[in-house]
Amino acid sequence: MATRDGRPPQGIGKMADTDHEADKNLTANHETAYFGYRRVAAAEKWQLVHQHFDTVARKYDLMNSLLSFGLHHLWKWTAVKMMALHPGDRVLDVCGGTADLAILAAGRVGRAGRVVVYDINRAMMAAGRPKVAHSTLAPRISYIQGDAERLSCPDACFDAAMVGFGIRNLTHPQVGFREMHRVLKPGGKLMCLEFSKPVTGWFGRLYDFYSFQIMPAIGKLMVGSWQAYTYLPESIRMFSQPEELCAVLTGLGFSQVGYRRLTNGIAVVYSGVKT
């Protein structure tokens, strides 16, 4: 495993000039970024994100299943199926964490295929290691510890790149997408699975109550931290709407950009192709 050098990510995203919604999420200012609802120094955000995942790592999978009533498995399965991977494909799982998406992808790329889990947080990858080790797919999966904003991979070396519930955590999400574009081969596929806001009003209000009152309470009970589980709903509310994100992907040079809402828009699968 390569280790990060301890420096904050070097952002090359656009300078933010207003407090407009898009400024808050997709384009962090070079000096500031949002950690949930808090505006923090950009150099501080990755540390806060790192601490957050250090806190939740050991119980991450359990909490995911508990808080989403198991739905995250269905979302991940659907997202990987939509990628239409081929045998022999090389796949990058950015912000791969406990490797759920990597395991699903490894099942689709055959014996000649390979999946790389790429994550900045060792504790998160370690939490998922037993799952991978106990799977027959283990030989197809490898790990790199590093920053998604500075992928330590050569240009044009992957057939597909995916990021699940990770892009929102980056200090400069656009830089993460740009890096994914760089390491994809021409014709390579991008998949991004991310939370969003429900489309139906009453469902949205119910979801708000659940995510701001119930989820942190369960977090306090299970992980001993209320705050760790307010970051989740706050960062979701601060993140871009699907149309904005698609415009960003198109601007970065992806074609065939589109999205599909899952479970009333709680989660969204984005796709694109490197032209």
Ligand X SMILES: C[S@@+](CC[C@H](N)C(=O)[O-])C[C@H]1O[C@@H](n2cnc3c(N)ncnc32)[C@H](O)[C@@H]1O
CA dist., res. 231 & res. 236, Å (int): 8
Q: Which of 166, 173, 216, 265 is close enough to bind ligand X by CB under 6 A?
A: 166
The two tokens of residue 150 are: 């500075």
> Does the protein bind ligand X through residue 46 (CB under 6 A)?
yes
Smallest distance from ligand X to CB 97, Å: 3
Please answer whether residues 204 and 197 qualify as being in contact, where contact means their C-beta atoms are separated by less than 8 angstroms: yes
Residue given tokens 């995203």 in the structure block = 13
CA dist., res. 182 & res. 94, Å (int): 13
Stretches 146-154, 219-227, 245-253, 261-269: which one binds ligand X (CB under 6 A)?
146-154
Smallest distance from ligand X to CB 233, Å: 13
- Residues sharing a CB contact under 8 Å with residue 212, sequence separation 6 or more, in sequence order: 230, 233
> Does the protein bind ligand X through residue 100 (CB under 6 A)?
yes
Stretches 10-18, 31-39, 142-150, 212-220: which one binds ligand X (CB under 6 A)?
142-150
CA dist., res. 59 & res. 102, Å (int): 19
For residue 184, what are the β-bridge partners? Answer: 158
Stretches 105-113, 120-128, 200-208, 256-264: which one binds ligand X (CB under 6 A)?
120-128
> Does the protein bind ligand X through residue 149 (CB under 6 A)?
yes
Binding interface with ligand X (CB under 6 A): 9, 46, 49, 53, 95-98, 100-101, 119-121, 124, 147-149, 164-166, 169-170
